[in-house]
Each structure stands twice: as C-alpha cells, then as structure tokens.
Amino acid sequence: MQSLSPRARALGAAVLCLVIAVAAGLAVDGRLDRHWILRGLTVILAVCCAALLLADQTRRLRQIITAVGLAMFGVVIPVTQTTWSKPPEIKFALQIATDAKAAAQKGGRSTVGVADVKAAAEARGGAIGSLPTGKTPEVHGTDAYPLIVRAKRDHGRPWACLSFTGLEAKVRPC
C-alpha cells in the first residue's frame, strides 16, 4: 500500500480545517455572538498554512512550522472558541432568554418585554441590572435593552447582556 503524497496530505488537511471550522461555528447557540470575523480569519490562516505545505516541500523545518500553524489555526483555535463561548453567566442568560420568550408567547405577545426578562431572572435566583457599589451607585441595564443579567442576585459580576428584537434573543458578554 502506497502512502499519500505530501501534497495530498496538505489538501486533506485544508479540507479538514474547513470542516472543523464550519462544525465549530454551527455548534455555538445561534443567540450568541459567534465571532465570525475571528473564525473567518483563522480559517484563512489555516488554508494559507495548508497552501504553504502544498507548495513548498523543500525544507523540513518549514513543513513542521506550517503543520503547527495548520493545527493551531485549523483545529485548536476553532474548537476552543466553541468550548469557551458559554461561560456560566452566558448559560444563565440563555436560560433567561428561553424562559422570557416562553412567558411572552404564553401571554400571546409577539415581543418580549423587560418585565418578562426580570421575572424569568428572579425565578431562577438572578437579577437584572448592575449592582450598585460605592464607586458606581447608579444601577444600569434595568429598563431598556440591552439588559444586564446577573446569575446571582447579590453578585455584581460576572454578567451578560441580553436584548430582544421581537421574540429573537441576542446574548453577549458586556
């Protein structure tokens, strides 16, 4: 059995990187900011590394460096972006978004109101708005979108920003 040529391996690696990048992008909840620009740049860099492997087979050190670049930009960065996209405060905000949308639909409304989000957050033991402190005694994010959603009522941080357009939620770190 004959092994694959270096060019075929480089082409296979480029295709694998594209598949991993698309799968990692689709694995993230649609209500989250998916960082498409960063994901696109990593795919471009991975394809560039694969093209270097495909075009230049002269020096072993160059092959190793481009293979490491291909692994980083084609596998490691897309997978870690997907894994790290939902810290606990983001997961909490996604749950609140689901609960608030369900409450609005149950009430026969076509938009999710601030009251729906506040009730959903309080039902899960959280709160909306920033926590007043000595430095910033003003509370922000309680009366208009984007709302600040806190997973624990008595903790100021970490929090997430939640906004709705109709019934469609958008969650992002803030």
In terms of C-beta density within 10 A (0-12 exposed, 13-18 middle, 19 or more buried), how is residue 42 classed?
A: buried
Which residues have a Cβ under 8 Å from the Cβ of 161 and sit 6 or more positions away?
A: 93, 141, 146, 147, 148, 149, 171, 172, 173, 174
pLDDT range class, residue 147, cuts 50, 70, 90: confident
Nearest C-alpha neighbor of 99 from the set 72, 122, 65, 128: 122
Residue 1's pLDDT is what? 43
Rounded CA-CA distance 155/59 in Å is 56
**3-class secondary-structure state, position 113:** coil
The single-letter code of the amino acid at 88 is: P
- In degrees and rounded to multiples of 5, residue 164 shows phi and psi of -130, 140
Cα 2 to the center of its chain, rounded Å: 42
Report pLDDT digits (tens) over 69-107.
777 877 788 777 776 666 778 888 888 899 999 988 998
Instruction: Give, for 163, the enclosing helix (H) or strand (E).
Output: strand 159-165
Report pLDDT digits (tens) over 28-47.
766 666 667 777 787 788 77
Assess whether pLDDT exceeds 60 at residue 17: yes
Reported pTM: 0.62
- Which residues does residue 72 pair with via DSSP β-bridges, in sequence order? none
- Specify the range with the lowest mean pLDDT, choosing from 56-65, 116-125, 151-160: 56-65
Which residues have a Cβ under 8 Å from the Cβ of 39 and sit 6 or more positions away?
A: 21, 24, 25, 78, 81
Mean residue pLDDT across the chain = 78
Mean pLDDT within 2-13: 73
Rounded CA-CA distance 109/103 in Å is 9
